[in-house]
């Protein structure tokens, strides 16, 4: 068959030639390519060319949650007589989604729901099973019937208790050569890591002791992608997930998957090529599937995962959380504004994934080159006063540096550099009003939707800083709190849900709609969004201080022949040259509209 009739096979072959150009593999690349396509159930003669198209709209909002972030009372109480008959957490989660998010959330990202041994799911023991304590695949399918489902592909490492690693120790079975050994001759002096434990961990194999590569912890052992069987296995896993209704794939810690002696072993070219290969086969198998890379690295390195619109469909906008927190804590938007001015628009078919809170901490590496060391230290000090803990990472020279700040976002925003104040709720909502209006797809952490506070008890129980922001709610208690309008939880939920419901009605908030930064001084942050068909403009303006700020409407040049209103408050602007006093942390979305007759 000629190249034209083997287009997809030819494309996969090109990916493989690049990936394994410096690696000796025993199997011919043509056979590996055919095996990859077979694993994804694709014919080799398909046309590999795809026309870029948007897989999202302004109506897309992602809710990020663990499968057990909300629990039935029986599970919370731990009554031995009732736990066995208790409602599974995935069933409870479905109730929460139906009761509290049906009007404002399109996609739910359920963090790793597999059997695991540590790291709240990211140390996977079995990639094809649901953790029995959460439920089963039917419960995931039920959620996928009403929401687009996003799941993690924990691609860099697995649990040391995974059956593949047991094969590795026995030196027989499918996983006997799946893991990376740190050889005595290997130069690992330049390796960049997000943890401080030793990279090499000694284990006993059938033939004797070896050191295995552990980027994250000694319970999480890294795969060896120099072995094509590892790549093929992950293609099979993704196909398995597609068959169960998963349509958005988050490649966890993907930047670390390729190792090369003497290098940083982070974001290597082979890693990018593996992402390109996965993009090729995934979009052929399911044109509406989305690939998201999770790369907690400096901004320019992160942008590289867009490739030439041929790698990730979406990348995490990791620089946003530290920059936005810095803005609201200092009351100065200059750094955030400059960063946004330099943020290239995503090409059609690509999008930013915006977030300001997640199951992890507030990453500091993405602030490198954007915030000075002094500004980062200032941010750390301010948040430490509100209960934050700071996780460290190891540099190339074995020195340590702050890696992330661990804190619940609601607590983080209960004050400024000057200390706590009465504007915490408004500041918290303002942060989200900025994030959900920006170019990109917004991701809302479940604990931000309801304003969950620092969970010190869980952090002390697990001994891990990240647990401070991984609270598990008794669902009945949560419902009680949300039904009592006097609680902070109810106030947060009311204002957040209003913000999201308002957002999804605005064509100018399409993830790829035009974005232009406004210059309104240090204390007012603003940008313009324009819908793809140019029918709607929205001026998004925010007072990012704890004092009243004056907005002169003439400064934003509203077209005098149009009618304008703030869609958040519903206020119609009758004098387009007036001065508007914005209250502390007030957000306004000023849009053109046609009055009803």
Average pLDDT over the chain reads: 94
Q: For the segment 261-294, what is each residue's pLDDT rounded down to a tens digit?
A: 999 999 999 999 999 999 999 999 999 999 999 9
Of 49-53, 57-61, 420-424, 448-452, the least confident: 49-53
Active-site entry in 252, 455, 537, 566: 252
User: Where are the alpha helices (H) located in 369-443, listed in sequence order?
Assistant: 373-384, 409-412, 424-437
The reported pLDDT for the residue numbered 1 is: 40
CA–CA–CA angle 302, 305, 308 (5° rounding):
130
Q: How far is CA 363 from CA 36, 235, 384, in A?
A: 35, 29, 15
pLDDT digits (tens, 9 = 90+) for 442-486: 999 999 999 999 999 999 999 999 999 999 999 999 999 999 999
- Torsion angle of C-alpha atoms 179, 249, 94, 243, degrees rounded to 10: -90
Tens digits of per-residue pLDDT, 92-101? 999 999 999 9
> Mind listing the pLDDT tens digit for each residue in 541-564?
999 999 999 999 988 988 888 999
pLDDT surpasses 60 at 6: no
Q: How far apart are CA 131 and CA 111, in angstroms?
A: 12
Of the pLDDT bands very low, low, confident and very high (cuts 50, 70, 90), residue 52 is: low
Q: Tens digit of pLDDT for each residue in 488-536?
A: 999 999 999 999 999 999 999 999 999 999 999 999 999 999 999 999 9
pLDDT at 5 over 60: no
pLDDT tens column, 378-431: 999 999 999 999 999 877 777 788 999 999 999 999 999 999 999 999 999 999
| Cα R_g (the chain), whole angstroms | 25
Q: Does the pLDDT of residue 309 top 70, yes or no? A: yes
Residue 519, helix vs strand vs coil: coil
pLDDT, residue 158, reads: 98
The secondary structure of residue 88, as a DSSP letter, is P
* Residue 51: pLDDT over 70: no
pLDDT reported for residue 2: 43
Rounded CA gap, 398 and 385, in Å? 28
Query: Does the pLDDT value for residue 591 go beyond 70?
Result: yes
252 is catalytic: yes
- For residues 177-205, average pLDDT: 94
- Burial class of residue 15, CB neighbours in 10 A (0-12, 13-18, 19+): buried
Q: Which residues of 360-387 are buried (b: 16+ CB within 10 A; e: fewer)?
A: bbbbbbbbbebbeeebbebbbebbeebb
């Amino acid at each position: 068959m000629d190249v034209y009739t083997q287009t997809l096979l030819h494309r996969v072959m090109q990916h493989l030639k690049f990936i394994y150009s410096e690696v000796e593999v025993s199997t011919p690349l043509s056979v590996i390519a055919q095996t990859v396509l077979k694993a994804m159930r694709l014919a080799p003669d398909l046309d590999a060319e795809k026309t870029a198209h948007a897989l999202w709209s302004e109506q897309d909002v992602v809710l990020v949650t663990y499968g057990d972030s909300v629990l039935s009372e029986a599970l919370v109480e731990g009554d031995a007589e009732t736990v066995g008959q208790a409602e599974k957490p995935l069933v409870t989660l479905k109730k929460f989604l139906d009761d509290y998010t049906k009007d404002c959330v399109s996609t739910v990202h359920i963090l790793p729901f597999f059997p695991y041994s540590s790291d709240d799911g990211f140390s996977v023991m079995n990639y094809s099973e649901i953790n029995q304590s959460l439920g089963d695949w039917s419960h995931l399918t039920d959620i996928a019937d009403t929401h687009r489902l996003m799941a993690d592909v924990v691609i860099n490492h697995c649990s040391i208790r995974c059956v593949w690693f047991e094969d590795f120790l026995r030196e027989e079975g499918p996983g006997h050569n799946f893991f990376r050994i740190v050889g005595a001759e290997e130069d690992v002096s330049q390796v960049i890591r997000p943890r401080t434990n030793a990279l090499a961990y000694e284990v006993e194999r059938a033939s004797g002791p070896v050191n295995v590569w552990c980027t994250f912890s000694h319970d999480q052992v890294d795969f060896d992608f120099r072995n094509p069987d590892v790549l093929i296995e992950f293609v099979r896993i993704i196909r398995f997930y597609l068959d169960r209704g998963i349509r958005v794939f988050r490649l966890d810690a993907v930047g670390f998957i390729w190792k090369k002696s003497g290098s940083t072993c982070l974001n290597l070219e082979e890693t990018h090529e593996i992402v390109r290969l996965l993009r090729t086969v995934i979009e052929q198998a399911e044109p509406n599937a989305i690939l998201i890379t999770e790369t907690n690295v400096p901004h320019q390195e992160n942008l590289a995962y867009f490739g030439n619109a041929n790698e990730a469909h979406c990348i995490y906008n990791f620089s946003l959380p530290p920059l936005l927190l810095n803005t609201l804590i200092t009351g100065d938007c200059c750094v955030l504004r400059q960063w946004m001015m330099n943020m290239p628009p995503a090409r059609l078919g690509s999008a930013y994934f915006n977030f300001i809170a997640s199951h992890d901490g507030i990453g500091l590496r993405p602030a490198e080159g954007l915030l000075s060391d002094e500004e980062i230290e200032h941010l750390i000090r301010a948040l430490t006063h509100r209960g934050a803990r700071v996780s460290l990472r190891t540099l190339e020279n074995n020195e340590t540096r702050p890696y992330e700040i661990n804190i619940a976002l609601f607590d983080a925003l209960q004050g400024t550099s000057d200390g706590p104040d009465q504007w915490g709720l408004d500041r918290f909502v303002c942060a989200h009003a900025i994030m959900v209006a920006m170019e990109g797809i917004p991701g809302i952490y479940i604990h931000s939707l309801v304003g969950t506070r620092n969970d010190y008890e869980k952090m002390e129980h697990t001994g891990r800083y990240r647990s401070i922001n991984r609270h598990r709610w008794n669902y009945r208690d949560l419902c009680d709190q949300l039904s009592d309008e006097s609680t902070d939880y109810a106030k947060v939920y009311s204002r957040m849900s209003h913000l999201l419901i308002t957002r999804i009605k605005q064509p100018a908030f399409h993830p790829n709609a035009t974005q232009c930064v406004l210059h309104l001084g240090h204390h007012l942050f603003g940008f313009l969004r324009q819908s793809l068909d140019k029918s709607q403009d929205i001026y998004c303006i925010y007072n990012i201080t704890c004092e009243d700020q004056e907005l002169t409407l003439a400064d934003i040049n509203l077209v005098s022949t149009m009618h304008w209103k703030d869609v958040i408050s519903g206020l119609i602007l009758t004098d387009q040259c007036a001065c508007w006093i914005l209250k502390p942390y007030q957000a306004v979305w000023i849009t053109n509209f046609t009055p009803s007759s």
